[in-house]
Amino acid sequence: MQMRNHLPETLLSGPFTWETARASGVSASRLRRADVVHVGRGLYRPADWDFDLEAAARSLSAVSPGAWISHVTAARIRCQILPARLSDSTELHLSKPRALPEVRRKGVYGHSVLAREEEIEFVDGIHISTRSRTWLDMARRLSVSELVCMGDELIRTPRPQFEDRTEPFATLAGLRALVGRHPNLQGVVRARQALDMMRVGADSAPESLLRLAMADAGLPEPGLQVALRLHDAMSPTADLGYRHRRIAIQYDGGHHLLDAQAFSDRRRDKAFESAGWTVLTFDKDDLADAFQSAVGRIKRALRTDWLDHPQASGFADAI
C-alpha cells in the first residue's frame, strides 16, 4: 500500500476510528506519526484538532457497540438546560448495560446501568440517551432546583412559530413512569422531589428559579404564561402572575436588551398597566441575588393589593 504523506480530508475534521482510517487507505504505520493522536482502543484524532464535543461523542459511539452517550455529554449535545458549572463541560460520558464489560477508556467516564430500549436513541450517528433519560441520569449530580429547571424545559409547551415541533419533549406522567422504572438509580430521590415541583409553562431556567424562590418564601403559587386577555391567541402574556390580583411578573433575559425586543417588552408591559395591572420586571441582577430582592418586591405588591382589596382573603396569611 502506498504511504500517504497527508491524512485524507475526511479524517481531518475530528476523531476517527481504525475502521474508517483503513477504509480511507491509511496504513497502521501512518497512524503512528506525530500528527495523529491515539485516543484509545480503535480511536484516533488529528493532533491539531480543536476539540468538538459532538464529533468526539460520535466517534466514541462508533467504537463502543452496545453503549450510548449519556449524562452531561448527552445533555450538552442536546442543548438541554444545565447549571453554569456544567454548561461548557467537555466530559465524555458513556453508559453500557451491566452485562457488558466496564468502560475502560482514557478520558471517558463509564457507567454500567439498567436502561430500556426506548430510553436510547440513534441520532445523527450517535447512540445517545433520550432527553428524559438524560434528565434522570443527571439526578445524581444536580440539585433539586437544577433538576426542576432541566425538567421544566422538557415539559414546556413549544411555540410552533419559533420551534420545529408541536409537542413537548416529555410529560410529567411520562417522567413519573420513567422514575418508577428505576427505583434504585442513584439520585432518584431528588428526581422524585423535582417532579413534584415542576410545572408546565416556564420558558427559561430563571423563570423556574424565580418560581421556586417564591415558593420557598411561602408566597402563593403564581400562574405561568398568564394572558392579559383570556381566549385571545394574540394577547400579551406575563411569565408569571396572579390574575385575580392583577400582578404580572416578567423575567427579561439578555436577549431583551436588543432594541426590537425591548420595544416589544415596553408595549407588552404598557398593555398590562393600561388594564390596571401592576407589572414587576426582573433581570440577571435579580438572578444573581437568588431572587431575594425580587421576592420582597412581590410580597410588597401582594400586600398593597390586599390592603386595597381586603375582601380577598388568603393572601394576607401568605405574605
pTM: 0.82
Strands 247-251 and 126-129: unpaired
- Note the pLDDT of residue 20: 84
**How far apart, in whole angstroms, are the C-alpha atoms of residue 291 and residue 307?**
24
Q: Which residue(s) pair with 96 in the sheet? A: 112
- Note the pLDDT of residue 318: 44
**1-50 belongs to which CATH class?**
mainly alpha
- Note the pLDDT of residue 109: 92
* Residue the block writes with cell 421544566: 152
Binned average pLDDT, 10 residues per bin, the chain of 319 residues: 64 80 85 80 77 90 94 97 94 93 84 96 96 98 98 94 90 98 96 98 96 97 96 92 96 66 86 96 95 97 72 47
Domain ranges in the chain are: 1-50, 53-200, 202-319
Exposure string of 130-159, with b = 16+ CB inside 10 Å and e = fewer, is: bbbbbbbbbbebbebbbbbbbbbbbbbeee
- Note the pLDDT of residue 21: 83
pLDDT in tens, 39-54: 767 788 788 777 789 9
For domain 202-319, give its CATH number from 3.30.1330.10, 3.20.20.70, 3.90.25.10, 3.40.960.10: 3.40.960.10
**Contacts by 122-128, CB closer than 8 A, 24 or more apart:** 124/54, 124/58, 125/58, 125/61, 125/62, 126/54, 126/57, 126/58, 126/61, 126/69, 126/77, 127/61, 127/64, 127/67, 127/68, 127/69, 128/57, 128/61, 128/68, 128/69, 128/70, 128/74, 128/77, 128/78
**How far apart, in whole angstroms, are the C-alpha atoms of residue 170 and residue 179?**
13
Sheet holding 92-97, edge to edge: 108-113, 92-97, 68-69, 126-129, 120-123
**How far apart, in whole angstroms, are the C-alpha atoms of residue 235 and residue 32?**
64
Cell of 315: 393572601
